[in-house]
Each structure stands twice: as C-alpha cells, then as structure tokens.
Amino acid sequence: MIETLFGRILEINYTASYAVIECSGVGYKATVSANTLSKLPAPVFEEDGLGLSGDPVRIYTHLVVREDAVELFGFSGRDELDTFRTLIGVSGIGPKAAISILSVFTPSSLAQAVYAGDAKSISQAQGIGAKTAARVILELKDKLNIYLTSPSPAKGDQKASQAPLSGKMGDVQSALSALGYSRSEIASAMKFVDGSLEVEEIIRQALAVLVKN
C-alpha cells in the first residue's frame, strides 16, 4: 500500500528505533533497523523551528495491519526490505523480530550466517532464541543466496564482555544495547567515535561502524 516515503527527517529515536519522515506536510513514523538508522541524517530545522531544511531521504516501507494496530516499517534499501519480507515468512518470526535480526545483520552478513548454519550468531539478535535461529537457517537456507558475498566474521562471535560505561558514553551504550548489540561490539565501535560530540551523533558514528562489520 505504501511502498516508499520521500521526505525530510523530522525525528529520530535511537532507543525505540524509529524515525519520523515528513512528506508533503504529513509525518510518517516508521520502525527501522539499526542499519537504516545509521544511514539517516539528523533532523535540520529552519530558524523558526518549524520548517525542515535537511536533505530529503527515501526509505522503502512495509505496512503491517493488525486488528489492534497499523505499523509502518522502513528500510534504507530494497535489499533490506526484501530480506525483511523473507524473514517474516519464517514461522515464528514477526516484524519486530525481523527488525531485531536486521539490526545485527546486513542482508549480506545474514546470508553468510544462514549459509554457514551459524545459529549462535543469529541468536545474538535481541529476542531471538536458539530454536528460532535454527528455524531461520532451516527455512531460509536457499532463499538468501542472492546476498552472499565473500565470507566475513559474523557479529556476535566476540565473547569478551566490557564493563558498563557511565555518563554520555553510558547513554550511547544503552541505546546501542537496546538495538541488540553486545557490549564487546559496542566497545569495539567506540574506538572510532568522537566522544566530544552530542550523544545522538556519537550513536550515529557507532552505528556506521557496527553495520559495516
């Protein structure tokens, strides 16, 4: 029904993992993955504080209609949208679980994990247990081959646990943890961020590092 949105970013919430995009005066709230969040620009307002002057963006969308709710999910690329739709076709995988998986994996790295039968890595996604991860592998074994690239280490392989951070960096750690990343992954990404920036910009920098790994 709504295949894409093209407009300016009005709001980004890293903790709840959603973005509001204003299109022709109407704001659409879309739940998005960490991968997509890392690619969205911060809202830029005009001097009056009402108008938006940032660059427009296009996201691909999937509309879910239930008896008690209507929810829009957004993706930075067609490949991520297609992977999302493939994931929700798996028994026991709903839209939120699919977003959780796509917050840890790109379509390519998920295809590699499925091809390798790496249920342990897939179960690192928030809310995904070992049985569900095994089901994802079983049902998608031959459906994600188009995204296969050269092998690379899957997320979640690192076992080291880092101590909780405090202050501004603690807020960043909490936001990234809510998106499904482990403390060891977050600690690795923190090495490449500028700690003098505001929290939202640090999160954006960290996400840009995390989704590339």
SS3 assignment, position 205: helix
Cα three-residue angle 125-60-1, rounded to 5 degrees = 110
Q: Dump pLDDT digits (tens) for 3-19.
A: 999 999 999 998 889 99
Is pLDDT larger for residue 186 or for residue 101? 101
What are the domain boundaries of the chain? Answer: 4-75, 79-147, 167-210
pTM of the model: 0.69
The CATH number of domain 4-75 is 2.40.50.140? yes
pLDDT in tens, 48-89: 877 788 889 999 999 999 888 899 999 999 999 999 999 999
Looking at residue 162, its pLDDT comes to 44
> Do 4-75 and 79-147 come out as alike in CATH topology?
no
Burial degree of 23 (CB within 10 A; 0-12, 13-18, 19+) = middle
**Which homologous superfamily does the CATH classification assign to the domain defined by 79-147?**
5' to 3' exonuclease, C-terminal subdomain (1.10.150.20)
